[in-house]
Amino acid sequence: MSQPALLDGATALSDRIVSLRRAIHAEPELGLHTPKTRDKVRAALAHLPLEWREGPSTTGLVATLKGGKGEGRTVLLRGDMDALPMPEETGLSFASTIAGRMHACGHDTHTAMLAGAAELLCSMRDTLTGTVQFMFQPGEEGFHGARFMLDDGLIDPLPDAAFALHIMPDSPRGLVAGRAGPLMASADQFEIVVEGRGGHASMPHQTLDPVPVACEIVTALQAMVTRKFSVADPVVATVAKIEAGTAHNVIADRALLKGTLRTLSAASRAKLHAEVERVATHVAAAHDMTAAITITPGFPVTVCDERAVALGAAVTAELAGGGGFVRLSHPIMGAEDFSYLLEKVPGAMFFLGVSHEGADWRSCCGIHSTRMVVDESVLPLGTALLAGCAIRFLEKGFA
């Protein structure tokens, strides 16, 4: 099937794609266990010749389609399923029915587009040589769902390539974007506890006040970032929370700092961890105090293979009605757990613009906004792009 015909096929599935997306959107689920979403996916695809695998750690699914023309390459397509713990203020007729939960990162659309790709590729089964894996993954929002599914053996043996899409509601409608190398950052959490000795606010000389020391650590961390790391391999250290004290006239015993550390390489990630500990402990020691540092590892850097990015760009160029492909000049410092797949398998993630036609996309609400909306008419393009990447890889590899 030609790429234009592929888009036509995806467009014919629009009602099914949108219906599944809306059903998932109305009942958002959090974390590693999304049973309602899983069941919606299984029901929507129950009529297809797919082999299903589930594991003990999550409600994630891997559906496998074996081509009718025999063995060959294996390609994986991934869509995430979990929502965010936040209210929805869109006013949509299919808005979240569960207070404090919303699909504000587009995972409902990712799942629906992937289900559409499964429909499309199953309809072409007799023409395919090789295997397609459809990975429906919960727990992307900080829960390491991809890592758990890998550890559960759901993707064993590993595919030869992997692709994923992420919508961008504040990007031009239909525009596909990507880049080779680091696409998104690693993201780790840190906590620093400065231990002092509290007392009366009128007699600070009799105490060890942790508050000014905590403030000094904040500024020292920012100086460390600019003086210890090259702008060519950037890092971001953000102190997002400071907590200390109980009253206006009491000097606290301790101060707590929490934040995130983001890098674009494994080397900078390791160095940043060490530098944060060095700065915090030495600043505290200079004031006769101690600092205890805890770093909780998050997702690794999302690194896209140049060959996979070129493949996605070629497929996009061939899709009639597509908004074109653009190579991003720099990475995005957000994080993505598709990185666990890309550590093991060459592949790429692409961004898909879903702002409404005629809208000023620059002013549209972005992901993680309580008012985020998407132009559902773009979703068939995402389905066609996923299916097109699979077909092209099965036929030609990265050639």
In tens, the pLDDT along 111-156 reads 999 999 999 999 999 999 999 999 999 999 999 999 999 999 999 9
pLDDT at 1 over 70: no
Using DSSP, state whether 275 is helix, strand or coil: helix
Domain endpoint, select from 296, 323, 352: 296
- Mean per-residue pLDDT of the chain: 96
Residue 340 confidence (pLDDT): 98
Residues found in the chain: 399
Q: In the prediction, which pLDDT does 357 show? A: 86
Same domain, 153 and 254: no
φ/ψ of 124, rounded to 5, equals -110, 15
Which of these, 117, 87, 45, lies nearest to 393 by C-alpha position? 117
CATH number of 12's domain: 3.40.630.10
Average pLDDT over residues 61-67: 97
Q: Which of 263, 296, 329 is at the close of a domain?
A: 296
| Same domain (yes/no): 127, 231 | no
- The span from the CA of 111 to the CA of 389, in Å, is 17
- Model confidence at 2, pLDDT cuts 50, 70, 90, reads low
- The 10s digit of each residue's pLDDT in 231-277 is 999 999 999 999 999 999 999 999 999 999 999 999 999 999 999 99
Are 202 and 305 members of one domain?
no
Q: What is the CA radius of gyration of the chain?
A: 24
Q: Does residue 346 share a domain with residue 197?
A: no
Pairing mode of beta strands 131-137, 61-66 = antiparallel
Q: What is the share, in percent, of the chain residues with pLDDT greater than 70?
A: 98
Flag whether pLDDT at 35 surpasses 90. yes
Are 131 and 222 in the same domain? no
Of the candidates 296, 325, 340, which is a domain's last residue?
296
The average pLDDT across 42-58 equals 97
Query: How far apart, in Å, are the Cα atoms of 373 and each of 116, 126, 147, 221, 280?
Result: 20, 37, 29, 37, 42
Nearest to 295 by CA among 189, 180, 384, 143: 189
> Is residue 176 located within the same domain as residue 311?
yes
For 289-339, what is each residue's pLDDT tens digit?
Answer: 999 999 999 999 999 999 999 999 999 999 965 569 999 999 999 999 999
Residue 110 sits in the same domain as residue 87: yes
pLDDT, residue 215, reads 98
In this structure, the answer to whether residues 178 and 324 fall within a common structural domain is yes
Mean pLDDT of 206-235: 97
Kindly report the CATH number assigned to the domain that includes residue 290: 3.30.70.360
Token digits of residue 24:
């998932």
Residue 321: its pLDDT value, please?
59
Q: What is the pLDDT of residue 199?
A: 97
Question: What is the value of pTM for the model shown?
Answer: 0.94
Q: Which domain holds residue 180?
A: 3-184+301-396
Residue 358 banded pLDDT, cuts 50, 70, 90? confident
Domains identified in the chain, total number = 2
Same domain for 179 and 191?
A: no
One domain for residues 26 and 172? yes
107 contacts: CB under 8 Å, gap ≥ 6 = 79, 80, 81, 82, 83, 140
My answer on whether 273 and 336 are in the same domain is no
If asked whether residues 60 and 177 sit together in one domain, one would say yes
Mean pLDDT computed over 43-68: 97
